[in-house]
Amino acid sequence: MATSTDTDPTVDRFWDSARRHLVRYSGASGFTQELIESAAGSFVTTAGGRRILDFTSGQMSSILGHSHPEVVRTVREGIGTLDHLFSGMLSRPVVELAERLATSLPDPLEKVLLLSTGAEANEAALRMAKLVTGRHEVVSFARSWHGMTYAAASATYSAGRRGYGPSAPGSFAIPAPDSYRPDHTAADGTLDWQRQLDLAFDLVDAQSVGSLAACLVEPVLSSGGVIDPPVGYLAALKLKCRERGMLLVLDEAQTGLGRTGTRYAFERDGVTPDILTLSKTLGAGLPLAAVVTSSEIEAAAHERGYLFFTTHVSDPLVAAVGSTVLDVLERDQLDRRAAVLGDRLSAGLRQLAERHQVIGDVRGRGLLVGLELVLDRRTKQGSDLLGAAVTRRCLELGLHLNIVQLPGMGGVFRIAPPLTVSDGELALGLEILDEALSTTAPG
């Protein structure tokens, strides 16, 4: 039903039509009960004229904010000249974006395939890895999210596995390196991630039929609760892959292009993947994704007849948008800005933790921050109900936050404002969250 702030009679008709005709695609969470009429910068505006501060950047994508003027200009100009082509045809915007992505990445990443969505990019990457290695088994984190298409969904363990029949054969999960809730501990109680990783691959080896092809992981697990692997973990993971002849595929759908404070999240660890996938942030809210790999891997795939011919592969309009996104990122040094503002945001959240005992942990990198609410800091007992209540109260007060939709993890917020967010908007978001916590979870 419509919110109390919506007085336009057409709003009721809108929700009635939505109930009658839309397929519900987000599980039990449903739709946010706000009719959004427009979006600009860090805010979306409802049909009733209420402005809501968007700390999710749309679907974690609009890193330049909504309706960025330079993106709008590129779309307006591009739609009148090159919108969509037969997939076998090439245009200047496609080759330009491929070149710019290649030059922004370390060697040997230089071959680019432009697609539409993150799931599609991961599907293409896994298809390539399987073809090149001649194997089929894929390893991913137990709390991963890589998409809803077949191979990507088979490598997704955070949700959506029940009721859809068999996943892809050879799909293996390893535990996420969660420092806040460690499953293997050192003498000082901290996460012993090396032991965890060793044991995980002992189990993978025991289950494998000798056909390990790829390891597909996010450098920071977003849907899994904003889990940031400790420094050294990715390097050790890559070594595990090398020892088994596997390709390391990094999914930077949410972490790529500045959000974590570096251009790509893997830069912090000094680890270059065999295949990199980008999406969400590359199009800054428009459907654009990329697979990037080495000339050696691309040549091997091509020799074996690699096929990933889709309707919107190499579309020129969104490729032009991708170059515009890179222009703004580079000119305004938004990766550095994300690092500075991310420190400011995290510091503000830690100050809130001093006043609100329900805040158990603040974690993440740059402007991808996780805030975990708990009923008891000592036991770290979470509460889906508490997280949902705080989320609703924030929305009532004018702040949209995204909550992790996993059973038992409904108290974890993914906070990801646009990289263009202002100091004042960050302060406003913290102020609203403070009030929501005070009225929903006092003490």
The sheet carrying 212-217 orders its strands as 109-115, 289-294, 275-278, 247-251, 212-217, 137-141, 171-174
254 tagged catalytic: yes
Among residues 120, 192, 251, 252, the one annotated as catalytic is 251
- Angle at the Cα of 262 from the Cα atoms of 256 and 268, rounded to 5 degrees: 100
Among residues 120, 135, 254, 298, the one annotated as catalytic is 254
Tokens of 286: 């428009």
37 tagged catalytic: no
Total Cβ atoms within 10 A of residue 134: 11
96 tagged catalytic: no
Among residues 240, 280, 337, 365, the one annotated as catalytic is 280
Among residues 54, 111, 145, 361, the one annotated as catalytic is 145
Tokens of 347: 């510091």
- Which residues, listed in sequence order, are joined to residue 250 by a DSSP beta bridge? 217, 276
Among residues 120, 365, 414, 425, the one annotated as catalytic is 414
Among residues 120, 137, 218, 335, the one annotated as catalytic is 218
- Residue 301 and residue 132 in contact, taking contact as beta carbons nearer than 8 Å: yes
For residue 373, give the nearest of 353, 363, 384, 359 by alpha carbon.
Answer: 359
Which residues, including other chains, have CB under 8 Å from residue 72's CB and lie 6 or more apart?
none
Which residues, including other chains, have CB under 8 Å from residue 239's CB and lie 6 or more apart?
none
280 tagged catalytic: yes
Active site residues: 145, 218, 251, 254, 280, 414
